[in-house]
Chains A and B, each alone.
Chain A
């Protein structure tokens, strides 16, 4: 089954997503900030990345830029999942190469459907 990387610094959200995705049969990788996400991607290329924006150390936009500038990782599907959902944020995210920009709070079911469409 496909590998999914969850990048978020809110442990409760991560916990819920982790459980729901595993239940669907995905292999789940977890990163608690941007830097951790970039480290994981160096060793293990996931199919889809669920990416938060507001994070300590390295923010979501920076992670996205680095992923897209590296030929090895530029094709990974990226779904941004953020509480920042002003028009400008969405535009920035999509311009930087994200496949979707989803606003928090969200429905877990819908998110899973989106993920499946990229697998």
Chain B
């Protein structure tokens, strides 16, 4: 395979990434781009070329020890719930854009601390980026030579690596500086990172399966082969106590790194936008790492078995398919490695450039300029600073790579990077939970820790690996044995990297604690200390979490906003602030809240330290004592909680008023119902009385009345008397049922039979009007514990209602009985004119008359349904209208089969 065609493949792949990022930027509101899986996958930017190539190399040299680097993050995943949530919460409130900003903010927007963090990050990460370029160049060389020859010696294609690096810088500049607020998400870049994470995982699994099952016959055959030449036990076990301690330290190292690596902070904190993302990441990220590591040991041992040497162990994944002539598979593996390189280089460069610009270049080199000029073009300047930083970083990394001895293994350079970055751990983690931690302690701890790393790891590494001189390691500095870099003060049971980790972190932590306790920080540090340690309580305070005293004018500060945000955004922010705190348009004096709001607003653009300095330049700040800070904070907290309780009281009062209103309304309604009831009772009584009176008058006054008419009048009188009697009985019946004086005579009865009895009483009228009544009961016999006399009344009332509403000849009434284990459901339906929807809620109220009070309803006392409801309720059942049925009226009765509880 010629190098030209590989270059074309690489360019094609880069073009694809440009396109993916472009597409995602265009569709940044789409569901796919915002999926929590994209976030979780982009966290796998952790797996750089170091993982992709280096872990196979390490597994070949040292056995299962390579796993430690992944066990840390896997252990860390559950802890994310607690720690990462807090980090994210704080970062989002204060528009934090990098870990340097985060630490600098915690210690009172401390400018020099932010710069120290940025420098440590740069020292740690630039060699790491160089390492990625080295991996890229070496893998390129292997693949283009198509041979397993030694890769030592000349770089034939140095130029191609240079151009790829340059293209990556362009990619970074293009998609990384779209918004000038660095705390904003970069959806395009991270969508392409997630894509690359998928690519590298899938390809790694493919080569794993290929090696294990195609080249060999499964894991066992690899073990048999490799144990011919190597001590398999040594490679697959942890050796004794010292081995165990070493495991422990390496796991701790990677556990801390997953929080502290700038690219991880960028991916997990800055790119975070919604809750679901963490929920998915918590399981997906550890799973990803596990999948990545399944085949590492098999590939490593397969390589050992095939090549009998660890010389090129880092590139076994490329060499194995090449040996077997599977070029295309080797190219795929190369593309997976390229993905790992690109994602690491792009995100690291992005994160570092933000740090360098916001925590080093702007606060030290540009701040004066910004203060002096009144240009509104600062956004462009800031973007350009970031762009320059990106090119600078990649250029430095490139030159570093070009001059590093090619015999240095990927894994050992990666460890230097981890050791340095872990120096941020004490001030970062302890500072989040200990309010006394001070900026001075943080700075001294970090710098000392880093110097120890240089002395105990980097310097001996340099002398032995690059100068090939072991004098320093064996005899110590100036020949003093206690100062031997790998065995400081006689500690000789740790591997060099763990030895360095132990001493650097111990000293770092001690000095941090000592200087924090002895030299107390200023009020500002303590203020942020309180905010960071009591996040959950103080977050409610919002701008009130910040104590500030002095004189300032809104107009002065607003001018600064305009210079960095533009007039439009500055005005919008001012409106938001005034609305949030209900300030009038005329407010001129800025208070602590306004100062805090302003600093947050500018932090994303210029970093927290610069934001503080820019604002403090136009205000007259008065120092506040520490005691005062704590007092004011406590007061603010109390005020908030009082406000909260007032708010709940107000809500309760409102609720109570609503309830009272409802109660009053229902009382009025009931009162009206009672009036209506009396009205209708009176009306219903008056009608038969009228008839009786008129008929009796005639009978009394008229002597000549013919006999047949006389008989008719007399029977009319009797009929109306009966009508009155019925009415009075109904009223009394209902009152007895409603008041509970009437108890049920319960017996286990066949309900279908009861329905038949009720239907039978209508035989005459049904035949006369030619109406059909059917009973559909499955099963035939349904028994339940009921009062049969009362239940007959229910069905009689329902059927008689239906009879009033159906048309003669076409009328149809159906009664359906259904039975489940405990419940009996009976539906009575007809094809009459149906119910008016508005009446349904009141239909079971006694004597309810629909709104149209003068149109007469068909005859009946109006008590029928009310009586039905009372009887069914006494049976602990329900009766309701089936609204879904529209061809007429339908009532559904549900009765429990057993009455006893």
Contact = CB atoms under 8 A, between A and B. Distances in A.
A54 B693 contact: no
A109 interface: yes
Contacts of B854: 53-54, 59-61, 84
Contact of B683 (A20, A57, A61, A83): A83
Contacts of B692: 105
Given A56-B855, A56-B856, A83 B691 contact: no
B693 A12 contact: no
B683 A54 contact: yes
B702 interface: yes
A57 B691 CA distance: 22
Contacts of A17: 694
B858 interface: yes
B470 to A, nearest CB: 116
Contacts of B160: none
Contacts of B686: 83, 104-105
Contacts of A42: none
Contacts of B688: 12
Contact of B694 (A20, A57, A59, A60): A20
Contacts of A59: 854-856
B691 A13 contact: yes
Contacts of A83: 682-683, 686-687, 690
B682 A106 contact: no
B697 A104 contact: no
A16 B686 CA distance: 15
Most A Cβ at <10 Å: residue of B683, B689, B690, B698: B690
B709 interface: yes
Nearest to A81: B690
Given A53-B854, A56-B855, A108 B694 contact: yes
B855 A16 contact: no
A15 B716 CA distance: 9
A15 B868 CA distance: 35
Contacts of B855: 54-57, 59
Interface string B825-864: 0000000000000000000000000000011111000000
Contacts of B701: 109
Nearest to B694: A16
A19 B701 CA distance: 12
B697 A109 contact: yes
B679 interface: yes
A100 interface: no
A10 interface: yes
Interface in B685-716: 686-695, 697-698, 701-702, 705, 709, 712-713, 716
Interface in A63-91: 83-84, 86
B719 interface: yes
Given A53-B854, A59-B855, A108 B690 contact: no
A93 to B, nearest CB: 11
A110 B679 CA distance: 25
Given A105-B693, A106-B690, A108-B697, A9 B856 contact: yes
A23 B695 contact: no
A86 B695 CA distance: 25
B716 A108 contact: no
Interface string B708-737: 010011001001100000000000000000
Interface string B855-882: 1111000000000000000000000000
Contact of A12 (B702, B709, B716, B857): B716
A22 to B, nearest CB: 11
A104 B687 contact: yes
Nearest to B704: A23
A108 B698 contact: yes
Given A16-B713, A23-B702, A84-B683, A105 B690 contact: yes
B765 to A, nearest CB: 17
A95 B742 CA distance: 48
- Among A17, A60, A105, find the residue whose CB has the most chain B CB atoms closer than 10 A: A105
A10 B686 CA distance: 12
Nearest to A20: B698
A107 interface: yes
Nearest to B689: A105
Contacts of B702: 23
B677 to A, nearest CB: 14
Contacts of A9: 856
Contacts of A108: 693-694, 697-698
Contacts of A105: 686, 689-690, 692-694
B698 A12 contact: no
A91 B691 CA distance: 25
Nearest to A104: B690
Contacts of B719: 12
Contact of B856 (A16, A19, A54, A109): A54
Contacts of A20: 694, 697-698
A6 to B, nearest CB: 12
Contacts of A106: 690, 693-694
A60 B855 CA distance: 9
Interface in A26-73: 53-57, 59-61
Contacts of B857: 56
Contacts of B709: 19
Given A12-B691, A12-B719, A16-B694, A55 B856 contact: yes
Contacts of A13: 687, 690-691, 694
A16 B682 contact: no
A56 B858 contact: yes
A63 B185 CA distance: 76
A55 B720 CA distance: 18
Given A54-B856, A84-B854, A16 B683 contact: no
Nearest to B697: A108
A105 B216 CA distance: 111
Nearest to A92: B854
Contacts of A104: 686-687, 689-690
A83 B857 CA distance: 15
Interface in B577-604: none
A56 B855 CA distance: 6
B699 to A, nearest CB: 10
B648 to A, nearest CB: 47
Interface string B59-73: 000000000000000
Given A53-B854, A54-B856, A16 B687 contact: no
A16 B683 CA distance: 19
Interface string A91-119: 00000000000001111110000000000
A108 B682 CA distance: 20
Contacts of B690: 10, 13, 83, 104-106
B697 A86 contact: no
B671 to A, nearest CB: 16
B117 to A, nearest CB: 85
Nearest to A54: B856
A19 to B, nearest CB: 6
A84 to B, nearest CB: 6
Contacts of B697: 16, 20, 107-109
A61 B855 CA distance: 10
Nearest to B675: A86
Interface of B: 679, 682-683, 686-695, 697-698, 701-702, 705, 709, 712-713, 716, 719-720, 854-858
Given A15-B695, A19-B698, A55-B856, 19 more contacts: A16-B694, A19-B705, A23-B702, A53-B854, A54-B856, A56-B856, A59-B855, A83-B682, A84-B679, A84-B683, A84-B854, A104-B687, A104-B689, A105-B686, A105-B690, A105-B694, A106-B690, A107-B697, A108-B694
21 contacts: A10-B690, A10-B691, A12-B688, A13-B691, A16-B694, A16-B697, A16-B713, A16-B716, A17-B694, A19-B709, A20-B694, A56-B857, A59-B854, A83-B687, A84-B854, A104-B687, A105-B686, A105-B689, A106-B693, A108-B693, A109-B697
Pairs of residues from A and B, 7 with the lowest C-beta to C-beta distance, nearest first: A16-B694, A83-B686, A12-B691, A59-B854, A105-B690, A104-B690, A54-B856
